[in-house]
């Protein structure tokens, strides 16, 4: 991932507590990158934080569109964006990455969103419509005023909107909505983890194969964000490029240990999901705890995500 400076070209209230943001290139020219539905970008806040947000639009539009929910427990990310952004504000934006890609093809697509989980699914919905691919979007929100993008969605025959339902009521609705799967259909879900679990459980009961169920991964559970899987045992960390070494303490991340000897590892999510901290391993046995690397990358022994992963031996040598 690399960083690009972009400019705020549009701001609007998408729903109560949800800020719609449009970013364009500083020069006004087209964007130097593309993306596919389900992609997200990293935004650098002025406060130094980096947060990930899904793109709601298609690359052909030549700008980035995002929707940012103001989180009551925000540690400075969404709160900063809601309070500080103005038209013309410049932001450092990471080039888009996709951990939740819409699978290519023509098979029918079912989308199940709750709350701000509508954002990547809106891009998928629009892509399916543009490709004339069969799609149906189920969107659950707290109330009509908390429902984003209603102007685009409420009159569409392939969209079902639900608001004001309790978790138990949603759980009652889902089996009926997911019954009668068309052959080849794929199911994508994004929203709170309890919601996605419920969608998948209902789908499996309704006969959906597991390998056609897709869910957003970069929105880690809050407890994971607050407590990354730290090194379980003490290990000696050697950093070849900077010629430093440090004893990683039990309960400490490799990123934190490296920082103690002045070696900053770029991080973004801090949860093993975004890929920002991917580092080459020189030697040592990695205890992989991330959700970013492929099985082949893990098996190669060449890579580690040091924000969450550790070492199962006594010594780890990294190319830092």
Give the binding site for ligand FES (CB under 6 A): 267-270, 272-277, 290, 292, 305, 307
Going along 122-242, which residue ranges are E strands? 135-141, 159-163, 186-190, 213-215, 235-239
Min CB(218)–ligand FES separation in Å: 9
Q: Give yes or no for a contact between 257 and 237, defined as CB atoms under 8 angstroms apart.
A: yes
Q: How far apart are CA 255 and CA 248, in angstroms?
A: 10
User: Please, which residue, 117 or 272, has the CB nearer to ligand FES?
Assistant: 272
Give the pairing of strands 18-25 and 40-44.
unpaired
> Cβ-count burial of 257 within 10 angstroms (0-12 exposed, 13-18 middle, 19+ buried)?
buried
Provide, rounded to whole angstroms, the least separation between the CB of residue 279 and ligand FES.
9
Separation CA 152–CA 57 (nearest Å): 12
Q: Which is nearer to ligand FES, 276 or 318 (CB)?
A: 276
Shortest separation between residue 44's beta carbon and ligand FES, angstroms: 13
Q: Which is nearer to ligand FES, 85 or 318 (CB)?
A: 318
CB of 186 to ligand FES, least distance (A): 26
Question: CB of residue 220 vs ligand FES: minimum separation in angstroms?
Answer: 10
Nearer to ligand FES, 54 or 57 (CB): 54
Contact assessment for residue 115 and residue 191, using Cβ atoms and an 8 Å cutoff? yes
- The torsion angles phi and psi of 273, rounded to 5 degrees, stand at -120, -25
Nearer to ligand FES, 110 or 305 (CB): 305
Cβ atoms of residues 52 and 41 within 8 Å: yes
């Amino acid at each position: 991932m690399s960083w690009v400076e972009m400019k705020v070209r549009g701001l609007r209230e998408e729903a109560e507590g949800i800020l719609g943001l449009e970013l364009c290139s500083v020069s006004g020219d087209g964007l130097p990158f593309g993306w596919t539905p389900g992609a997200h970008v990293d935004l650098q806040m002025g406060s130094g934080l980096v947060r990930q947000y899904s793109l709601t639009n298609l690359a052909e539009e030549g700008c980035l569109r995002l929707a940012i929910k103001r989180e009551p427990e925000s540690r400075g990310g969404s709160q900063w964006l809601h309070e500080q952004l103005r038209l013309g504000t410049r932001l450092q934006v990471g080039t888009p990455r996709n951990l939740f890609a819409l699978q290519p093809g023509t098979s029918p697509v079912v989308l199940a969103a709750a709350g701000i989980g509508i954002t990547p699914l809106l891009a998928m919905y629009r892509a399916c419509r543009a490709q004339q691919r069969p799609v149906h979007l189920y969107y659950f929100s707290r109330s009509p005023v908390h429902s984003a993008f209603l102007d685009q969605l409420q009159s569409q025959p392939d969209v079902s909107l639900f608001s004001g339902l309790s978790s138990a009521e949603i759980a009652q609705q889902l089996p009926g909505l997911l019954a009668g799967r068309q052959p080849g259909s794929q199911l994508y879900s994004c929203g709170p983890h309890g919601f996605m679990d419920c969608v998948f459980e209902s789908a499996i009961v309704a006969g959906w194969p597991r390998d056609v169920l897709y869910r957003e991964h970069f929105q880690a559970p809050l407890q994971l964000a607050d407590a990354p899987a730290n090194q379980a045992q003490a290990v000696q960390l050697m950093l070849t490029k900077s010629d430093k070494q440090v004893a990683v303490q039990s309960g400490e991340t490799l990123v934190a240990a490296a920082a103690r000897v002045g070696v900053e590892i770029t991080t973004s999510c801090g949860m093993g999901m975004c890929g920002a901290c991917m580092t080459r391993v020189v030697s040592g046995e990695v205890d992989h705890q991330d959700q970013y690397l492929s099985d082949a990358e893990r098996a190669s022994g060449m890579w580690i995500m040091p924000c969450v992963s550790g070492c199962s031996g006594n010594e780890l040598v990294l190319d830092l």
